[in-house]
A and B are shown apart, each in its own frame.
Chain A
Amino acid sequence: MSEALVPHQAKADTPRKRPLPGSWFARAIESDLFYSFRRSRLTMVATAMTVLFFLLAILASVLAVQNPFDPAQLQLMNSRIAPIWTADGQSPFLLGTDEQGRDVFSAILYGLRISLTVGVLGVLFSGTLGIILGLIAGYIGGAVDGLIMRIADVQLTFPAILIALLVNGVVKSVFGNRLDAMSTLVVLVIAIGLSFWVQYARTVRGSVMVEKNKDYVAAAQLIGLPAWVIMLRHVLPNAMGPILVIATINLALAIITEATLSFLGAGMPDTMPSLGTLIRIGNNYLFAGEWWIVAFPGIALAALILSINLLGDWLRDALNPKLR
């Protein structure tokens, strides 16, 4: 018997070199999530694209041949140059230049930075707002819950883009039409945050209502932990899966919303353009045959949104929370 057992044991010990048990890296590599990730080639491409876009945005100042926000670096002599592979292309300007001699590639890198900044901050803001309101509504319940959820119902009736436009218009009318670029960015983040909090609040509230009747919450209450500690440290982590999915999908939505607002002329100004602003500017030159001014920012925006959406779709299927 023992002879038969020994080699079997030895075999089980040797084959794979496992990283230290308990390290987060090992747990990540061996998780179901990572397995499902490696199974889907499309998801790996989408992830690579998303990471690439973030890197491009972070390294914008290193990769760009000029700072498109600095008027001193722009020369009108260089205006309206076609992309480099066409007959009229010129050397440093990979994707051509626009009316003001701005390098389209550099403008896209800086625009990407603005778009992603607004998107990420918008998601963080709406997520925080939604999570807090959802926790309060679910944990306290009663009239508070009724009020918060009624507001959520009403807001869900209106499309986010309309709410964002209205918030934008009201802020403009309060501060006059003279906001500088940075404040506009903040206004956009707030406008987007206020239009997307509902989904988080509903999801968190749902999870909280399920979790708060479980024994571990009762135990935490018994040892006298304050309500906010129970909510943040004990209940919230159990709702993190769906929140992550919503956040990913909402990042794409937030970027679309920012781009749309900027395209409509209610977003980032020409002096500090996001991808949407670049598309609005380029759209004016479409009929003059200068297609590259609008085409490349448009492609960049579409590719960015598509990769994030694919990532979000996969995450939803992989975590399989009961969304919607």
Chain B
Amino acid sequence: MLAFTLRRAIQAIGVMIAVGVIAFSMFRFAGDPVNQIVSMDTSAAERAAIRQSLGLDDPVLVQLGRYFANAAQFKFGVSYQFRLPVADLLKERMPATLELAICATILAMVFGILMGVYSALHRDSLLAKILQAISLIGISLPTFLIGILLIYLFSVTLGWLPSFGRGEVVRIGWWTTGLLTISGLKALILPSITLGLFQMTLIMRLVRAEMLEVLRTDYIRFARARGLTTRAIHFGHALKNTLVPVITVAGMQFGLVIAFAIITETVFQWPGMGLLFVQAVQNVDIPIMAAYLLMVSLIFVTINLVVDILYTVVDPRLRSTISRPV
């Protein structure tokens, strides 16, 4: 157990170092950092001075070491577009993305589990078939199309909900939250649905499959024989046993939710890290791209490590039930 944990941890560190080297090479070799900072009429001497001050004349390995040391202290350099430290930009945008991702996950879990349980218990009902069809469409439709569809329905046609931004936010320390104002909550609805829909269909299918499997087992038959109410059997016994893999998958998907937030944030102009990243890709703002890569990798690697360790603790059978999309 300890050996396994240790091996996985070393592997995770290896991945982070590899990603760090990629981020550094992007930063160092893709385009000249000096050109991005200076204006057209900067003299050669001034350029050389800037090169010197950035340490670009040092050996590559020294620069790599310095990049790692800086990254460990959350110093990712200065954004080419905004002329601000990347760490500050990310910190400012992080609450928006995390709030969106958490809301989407909760939404996906609640509705995914409800729909999954329903379609498992009433397998042949019309509603269950409709839910299955919706889940197929939900998996097939690209996220941005769902977002546009929702905007057209609820913002353009009905005018009920805002189509962009976070609404009014309340500042608590460095964290900004939209959860405490009405406009903030209203602004959260459409992006959360858009982001959560894919997870929801995934969870629904998983819960349905697991429930169907559990309902066939002997202990459910025994519970029936004991004369327990259907309700107690379905929710007390069957659902409880399907929840472990569901929570594992949802946890594992959280990294993906943050990555997919890139698309949702662009559709809804949600001021989070994903939008920052997309704008960085469009404007070739390497420091932001590199920092985002490092941060998202850290989140992914951490989640994977935790889940991998939990697997061995909880139930090794779970490995086969997890499928990864896109």
A264 to B274, CA, bound (A): 11
Chain A residues with CB below 8 A from B278, complex form: 165, 264-266
Chain A residues with CB below 8 A from B289, complex form: 166, 169-170
Min CB distance A118 to B, Å, is 14
Chain A residues with CB below 8 A from B263, complex form: 161, 260, 263-264
Would you call A159 and B152 a contact (CB within 8 A)? no
Min CB distance B30 to A, Å, is 4
Min CB distance A147 to B, Å, is 12
Chain B residues with CB below 8 A from A286, complex form: 148, 151-152, 156
Min CB distance A252 to B, Å, is 7
Q: How many residues of B contact A (CB 8 A)?
A: 46
Chain B residues with CB below 8 A from A259, complex form: 142, 144
> Residue of A at shortest CB range from B26?
A170
Chain A residues with CB below 8 A from B262, complex form: 161-162, 165, 264
Q: Which of A47-55, A106-114, A294-302 contacts B (4 or more CB under 8 A)?
A: A294-302
For chain B residues 146-175, which have a beta carbon within 8 Å of chain A?
148-149, 151-152, 156, 163
CB within 8 Å for A305 and B148 given contacts A162-B259, A169-B281, A253-B326: no
Chain A residues with CB below 8 A from B156, complex form: 286-287, 289, 291
Name the prevailing secondary structure of the B interface residues. helix
Asked if A20 lies at the interface with its beta carbon under 8 angstroms from chain B, I say no
Would you call B284 and A172 a contact (CB within 8 A)? yes
Would you call A156 and B284 a contact (CB within 8 A)? no
Asked if B324 lies at the interface with its beta carbon under 8 angstroms from chain A, I say yes
Asked if B63 lies at the interface with its beta carbon under 8 angstroms from chain A, I say no
A263 to B147, CA, bound (A): 12
> Residue of B at shortest CB range from A287?
B156
Contact with A along B292-312 (1 / 0, CB 8 A): 010011001100100000000
Chain A residues with CB below 8 A from B142, complex form: 256, 259-260, 263, 301-302, 305
Chain B residues with CB below 8 A from A257, complex form: 326
Chain B residues with CB below 8 A from A177, complex form: 283-284
Chain B residues with CB below 8 A from A298, complex form: 145, 148-149
Contact with B along A140-177 (1 / 0, CB 8 A): 00000000000000101111111001101110111011
Q: Could you tell me which A residues sit within 8 Å of B by CB distance?
A: 154, 156-162, 165-166, 168-170, 172-174, 176-177, 252-253, 256-257, 259-260, 263-266, 279, 283, 286-287, 289, 291, 294-295, 298, 301-302, 305-306, 309, 324
Sample of 21 A–B contacts (CB below 8 Å):
A154-B18, A157-B301, A158-B259, A158-B297, A166-B289, A166-B293, A169-B286, A172-B281, A256-B142, A256-B326, A264-B281, A266-B281, A279-B144, A283-B267, A286-B152, A286-B156, A294-B148, A294-B152, A302-B141, A305-B142, A306-B137
